[in-house]
Amino acid sequence: MKKKLHSLTEISLVGRIIRIILTLIILTVILSPKITHAQTKEVPPDSIQYKGTLYQKVKPKTTYPKVVGYLSFILPLETLQSGSLTPNFDHHTTAIGFPVGVNVLYSDKFGFSYEFTPTIKAEDGNSKETSLLFDPGTMFRFDNGFTIITRLAFETSGRYGFTPVFNQVYARTRDVNYFVALSLPNRFGNNEAYSLGLNLQLGFIFN
């Protein structure tokens, strides 16, 4: 009787061990894809993987000062003068400027810009160049391609003043960076009342 009970106990113990082993095998099979996926590391775009080890790519350091040129066009949207707000596309009149310039970058945070803008005006079926603007200014550069430019302004029409510019790079390629800017031209002189404008500028900077 004791031998029989001992045999039954051994059989029961062996059965438990077998069940535990089978449970572990099933759990291992179920969890193995998740474990493998968790152990697989995605390679970041700024890194390379060699023999299972991740190495971060070294970005070339920009050497300053750096000179870059740019091309653009600018649309005067609104002009406030003597209490009257005049849209650019009013009374069959349209004006468009073509700013071209050179930026001298002294660091990631600061630079100086030299810009020339010829302006063409179309009115009553006729078009002509009305003035040439020279507006140099300091550049205060921020992260994510945002720049504030404080420009002086000297027009061949006789007007002068200053222009704060808020510039944002919105797309980058290997050769050029595309930007959009809003500017607020403040003008005086030439026997005219003070004026404040709102301009939209679009263009690209050569890398």
Question: Mind listing the pLDDT tens digit for each residue in 58-89?
Answer: 666 789 999 999 999 999 999 999 999 888 87
CA angle 193, 196, 201 (to 5 degrees): 140
104 contacts 139 by C-beta, under 8 angstroms = no
- CB count in 10 Å sphere of residue 154: 14
Tell me what pLDDT residue 35 has. Answer: 44
**What's the pLDDT tens digit per position in 124-134?**
888 999 999 99
Which of 45-49, 117-121, 127-131 is predicted with the least confidence, judged by mean pLDDT? Answer: 45-49
Q: Structure tokens of 97?
A: 């400027």
Tell me what pLDDT residue 36 has. Answer: 43
Q: What are phi and psi of 37, to 5 degrees?
A: -65, -40
Which of 1-5, 10-14, 111-115, 116-120 is predicted with the least confidence, judged by mean pLDDT? Answer: 1-5
pTM score above 0.85: no
Cis bond before residue 65 (omega within 30° of 0):
yes
- CB count in 10 Å sphere of residue 153: 21
What's the pLDDT band for 39 if we cut at 50, 70, 90? very low
Tell me what pLDDT residue 188 has. Answer: 97
Instruction: Report d(CA 83, CA 130) in Å as an integer.
Output: 24
199 contacts 182 by C-beta, under 8 angstroms = yes
DSSP state of 144: G
126 contacts 138 by C-beta, under 8 angstroms = no
Domain 66-206 grouped into CATH 3.40.50.2000: no
Start and end residues for every CATH 2.40.160.20 domain found in the chain = 66-206
Buried b (16+ CB within 10 A) or exposed e, 99-109: bebebebeeee
Buried b (16+ CB within 10 A) or exposed e, 72-89: bebebeebeeeeeeeebe
Tell me what pLDDT residue 55 has. Answer: 61
Instruction: Report d(CA 86, CA 161) in Å as an integer.
Output: 19
Instruction: Report d(CA 203, CA 197) in Å as an integer.
Output: 19
Q: Structure tokens of 186?
A: 């403040």
**Is the confidence at residue 138, as pLDDT, over 90?**
yes
**Is the confidence at residue 11, as pLDDT, over 70?**
no
Pairing of strands 195-206, 66-81: antiparallel
